[in-house]
Amino acid sequence: MNHAQLTALGRALRLLGEHGESLTADTPDARLHEIKDDLRRALDLLDESVTTGAPTTRCPEHPQGPVDESAPDLCLLCETRRRAARRSEFQGGRSRPGEPAPSAPSRYGVRDDRPQPQQRWLPELWNGQEWQLCGTPRRDRHEAEAYLAAQRRGSRPAMAYRLVHEFTDYEVLRVWGTPVRIDIEPMGNL
């Protein structure tokens, strides 16, 4: 809605408000016809300013999204997300009973988070606690080694890098640097 449409629609609605305040039981028919014309004018202005269709869901995030009749807000996308959250609640999510929570969040994840192996080379870095992916898994070994060489020459290189070959199992091909476990708490957790 542009500024001119906004101004005209606001004026028409204020005029309708004034008509509503002045209505009484003995309002003449001529005045009612005038109100009817003003109502039509306001509806026409509203039709001109509305650019999208009526929302199909009650979801503020996906008003035009697909509909799920069983969802409270009729939004299939949000309901799918809620169902996945409930399912992971019942199945325990990613953490299994007796396992500690992940020690170091990573943008790329740690090895246990990855899908079943395929033939590829995984660039990993040592973050002080565990090995984590530091880039996208590569299909070409030379490309992965070139990527790790660039990472080592970067402005903030890690303590150690390694290249892992993933096929039916994981095989560490080469390690650059020495991984040393670092206590993440200052002063040794005192």
Give the pLDDT score at 82: 85
3-state SS, one letter per residue, for 33-72:
HHHHHHHHHHHHHHHHHCCCCCCCCCCCCCCCCCECCCCC
Give the pLDDT score at 2: 82
Ranges of each domain in the chain: 3-49, 53-93, 111-187
Give the pLDDT score at 97: 53
Burial of residue 95 (CB within 10 Å: 0-12, 13-18, 19+) is exposed
Give the pLDDT score at 189: 59
Give the pLDDT score at 40: 93
Give the pLDDT score at 117: 54
Burial of residue 124 (CB within 10 Å: 0-12, 13-18, 19+) is buried
Give the pLDDT score at 37: 92
Give the pLDDT score at 60: 84
Give the pLDDT score at 149: 93
**pLDDT under 70: residue ranges of the chain:** 89-118, 168-169, 186-190
Give the pLDDT score at 162: 93
What is the C-alpha to C-alpha distance for residues 109 and 106, in angstroms, rounded to an integer? 5
